Amino acid sequence: MIKRTLYFGNPAYLRRQDKQLKVLKPEQRKEVASIPIEDIGVVVLDHPQVTISQALLSELVLNNVAVLSCNEKHHPVGLFMPLAGNSLQSERFRIQIAASEPLKKNLWAQTVAAKVSNQADILEQMGKEAKRLHALVPQIKSGDSDNIEGRAARVYWDLLLGDDDFVRERFGKAPNPQLNYAYALIRAAVARALVSSGMLPTLGIFHRNKYNAYCLADDIMEPYRPFCDQLVLPMYYNGEFTSEDLTTDQKAKLLSVLTCDVLIGGKKSPLMTAISRTTNSLFECFAGERRKILYPDFYESRSLKPIS
């Protein structure tokens, strides 16, 4: 079943009752919605006057729901995750921690190859020449020692938005804020799936920043970033981004990235379900049960050419 993503961008009081998330208007405490907690995958809190009860927060955590908190600029700044998300967690932790360095380097090479291949697909959807990216994929070595990921990114963004004097960065002009918002949603979904699969999202196969609690999520989300690009770029070309602030309509569109269709293992699947298949396959690689991580491809291509 596809887990739901709930977005709260207006004042609301959220509480638990009978395994349901109850949404009430804060002043009258009048119920306006009721959602089964077992159906929820991600909750986005994006208003300073959203109040959530401890009972509900505890129930969300027990059901492995990722709770994402946004700041006054509507950018995700915090992620609340359960301490235990799998019945065999301690055993799986030991297996993950014992993974050899050669194995992790091999898994990172697979991850980079999947990301660059999906970036090439985006370029082809735009009618751009993607042979430079396709040529880089066979050059990826264990651990990506030649930094093919970085080289591919420079080519990718230059071909996509180079004519607009665009620089891909954490802070900057559109479409940076919109891309960052969509990436944060993917990151939360990947972190949630990793915990559900019984792994520590902190221990990465490549990312190792000691201040980052989600290094493994940052690793595994890389091949999923182009699906955000596919969603954001048409909005950018259509002139929907008139400022750095995200509108309610923009955020509603960006939330749909978690339910877009992808192709994984030869089958059509919603992106959030595909993420769970990816994290499960990652553990199987750690456990020696398989050799390759299962990553998605584009299920359906569409033209991303700028509108003249």
Show binding-site residues for Mn(2+).
149, 207, 222
What is the Cα 291 distance to its own chain's centre? Answer: 23
Beta-bridge partners for 5: 42
Residue 54, H or E segment = helix 54-62
Radius of gyration of the chain (CA): 20
Q: Is 58 helix (H, G, I), strand (E, B) or coil?
A: helix
Q: Give me 241's structure tokens.
A: 């981004």
DSSP code, position 244: S
DSSP code, position 56: H
d(CA 15, CA 113): 44
> For residue 102, what are the contacts with CB-CB under 8 A and spacing of at least 6?
142
Annotated binding site: 149, 207, 222
d(CA 249, CA 57): 27
Selection from 156, 181, 184 nearest residue 168 by Cα? 156
CB-count burial class (<10 Å; 0-12, 13-18, 19+) for 252: exposed
